[in-house]
Amino acid sequence: MHRVLSVGIGLALFSIATLPTSAASRFVQDPYPSTYAPIASAPVLISNATVLTGTGVRLDNADVLLRDGRIAAIGTALAAPADAIRVDGLGKWVTPGIIDVHSHLGVYPSPGVSAHSDGNEMTAPVTANVWAEHSVWPQDPGFAAAMAGGVTSMQVLPGSANLVGGRGVTLKNVPATSYQAMKFPGAPWGLKMACGENPKRVYGGKGTAPGTRMGNVAGYRAAFIDASEYIAKNTPKQPKKKRWFSGSDQGDSAGDSGGKRDLKLDTLAGAIQGDIRVHIHCYRADEMETMLDLSKEFGFRIAAFHHGVEAYKLADRLAQEGVCGALWADWWGFKMEAFDGIQENVALVDRPANSCAIVHSDSPEGIQRLNQEAAKVIANARRAGIEIAPERAMMWLTSNAARSLGVEKQTGSLEVGKMGDVVVWNGSPFSSYALAEKVYVDGHQVYDRADVRRQPLSDFMLGQEARP
C-alpha cells in the first residue's frame, strides 16, 4: 500500500498511515461479492511432463499433483493417491493457467451487437464510478474460446475512451450464469485510466474537455485533487483531548465528516490508498513518464502500463519503478501513438533486472493464443541476438500477470499451495501448432480438447443451426 500523499499546492501533506490496512476500507467495500465456488475434483496426477512453473523454472520429466483444488506437489516419481485421475504427460508441456490482464470479454462480447456494447461509459471523461463487472455478459462465447487457449483468469476492463474509465474486475474463467460466480475471490479491483489519443478524440470531438494531451493531464489532476480532499474528509480524526467542558464525541459519525458517499471518489481514493490497482492504457514513452510523475504527485502506485507500444524506450525506468508493461507482440500503426511499435518490445521490457513484462491481448482473438504471441516475441528477440528461454517467457503469461493484478499469492505459478490452475499442452506452447489439451481451474478439469462434452458452450450458441 502506498502511503505518501502529496496533492500539490493548496492541500496539506498528511499521512494516511493510521488508516486500517485491511479490505475494510470503506472505499473498497463490495456489495457484489464473489460467489465463485470451485468444483470439487478427485486428485489429478500429471506425470512425466515438461513443466514450466511460471517462476522461471523448467522441470523435465516432472510430475504435478493437484489435490483439493490446489497444487499439492511437484517433483519426480510422485506417488498418486488411490483415487487420483492419472494423466500421462509424456511429450506434453504443463504450465500454469494463462492470465490475461487486459480483456473486454463480456463487456464487448460476441456477437458484437449494439445491445451488448457495454465497455465504454462515454458520457464523461472521468467515470471512476462505473464498474466493468456490471457490464459483463457471462454468456459471451469468447470466454469458452479463451479457455480453449489455456486462459484460466483474466481482468475485464472498461474501455479507453475516458481519462478514468472505471473499475476492472478479475474473473476466473469458468462458465457461469452470473459474473459474481466468476469473480476471483479476494482479487483487488483494477482502475482503468487512459492516456493519449482516445480521450482527447472522444471528448474533443464533442467540443468538451479534454481536447488535447494537456487537457488529459489537467483532467487526471482535477480528479485526484477531489479524491485527495475526499480522503481527508473521510479520515477519522484523532480524538481530541478531553476537556472537562467537552460534550459528547458521538456526533458527526464519530469524527468522520465525509458527508455523502461518492462512488467516483470512492474508487479514486481506493486507488490512492493502494487497494485498487491502477492500470493505464498508454502508448508513448513520454506520456508514460508523465503518468509516473502524476502517480507521485498524488501518491498512487501504477500496477501496469497497458499497450505501451513505446515501453521499450523506458524499459529501465519501468523496472526501477516496479511498473509492469502489459504489451502486444506485434500490433502497431493503427493510430499515430502506435506508430513506433517494434516486435521486440516485450523482450526489451523484460531485459532489465526486476522487470515485469506481460503479454496481454485486448482482443477476443488474441486472448485465445497468448502463447503464440509470446512465441513471436521469442523468435524476434532471437533474430536480434537475444535468447529467451521458454521458462522465462512463460512468466509473461502467468506470474508477471498475476503480480500486476495482485493475485500472485493465489495463482500464476505452479507452486505448492497455489490454486490448481493448470494447462496441459500438446507440446511446447510457443508455437503456431500448440494446443491446450486439458485445462484445470482450482484442480477441476474445465476443458478437454479430446471430449466435446468437456467443453463449455454458451447458452447463446445452443440451438444455432450454423453452430460448427
Here's the x/- map for another protein, 88-117, by CB under 8 A: it reads as ----------------------xxxx----
In the complex, least distance from residue 404 CB atom to another protein, rounded to whole angstroms: 23
In the complex, least distance from residue 389 CB atom to another protein, rounded to whole angstroms: 13
Stretch that binds another protein, among 25-33, 124-132, 273-281, 431-439 (CB under 8 A): 431-439
Q: In the set 67, 92, 102, 376, which binds another protein (CB under 8 A)?
A: 376
Size of the site for another protein (CB under 8 A): 52
Which residue's CB is nearer to another protein, number 338 or number 414? 338
d(CA 45, CA 128): 45
In the complex, least distance from residue 406 CB atom to another protein, rounded to whole angstroms: 29
Here's the x/- map for another protein, 115-154, by CB under 8 A: it reads as --------------------------xx--x---------
CA distances from 393 to 56, 183, 226, 376, 390 (A): 8, 27, 41, 11, 5
Which residue's CB is nearer to another protein, number 191 or number 367? 367
Tell me: does residue 389 bind another protein (CB under 8 A).
Answer: no
421 phi and psi angles, rounded to 5 deg? -100, 105
Q: In the set 330, 415, 448, 456, which binds another protein (CB under 8 A)?
A: 330
Could you tell me which residues come within 8 angstroms of residue 353 by beta carbon, excluding any fewer than 6 positions away? 319
In the complex, least distance from residue 110 CB atom to another protein, rounded to whole angstroms: 4
Q: In the set 153, 368, 398, 400, which binds another protein (CB under 8 A)?
A: 368
Which residue's CB is nearer to another protein, number 97 or number 196? 196
In the complex, least distance from residue 468 CB atom to another protein, rounded to whole angstroms: 4
Tell me: does residue 320 bind another protein (CB under 8 A).
Answer: no
Tell me: does residue 267 bind another protein (CB under 8 A).
Answer: no
Which residue's CB is nearer to another protein, number 111 or number 207? 111
Tell me: does residue 197 bind another protein (CB under 8 A).
Answer: yes
Tell me: does residue 343 bind another protein (CB under 8 A).
Answer: yes
Stretch that binds another protein, among 30-38, 89-97, 218-226, 336-344 (CB under 8 A): 336-344
Tell me: does residue 378 bind another protein (CB under 8 A).
Answer: yes
Tell me the one-letter amino acid at 182. Answer: M
Tell me: does residue 205 bind another protein (CB under 8 A).
Answer: no
Residue numbers at the binding site for another protein (CB under 8 A): 110-113, 141-142, 145, 197, 312-313, 316, 330-336, 339-344, 348, 364-365, 368-369, 372, 375-376, 378-380, 382-385, 428, 430-435, 460-461, 464, 466-468
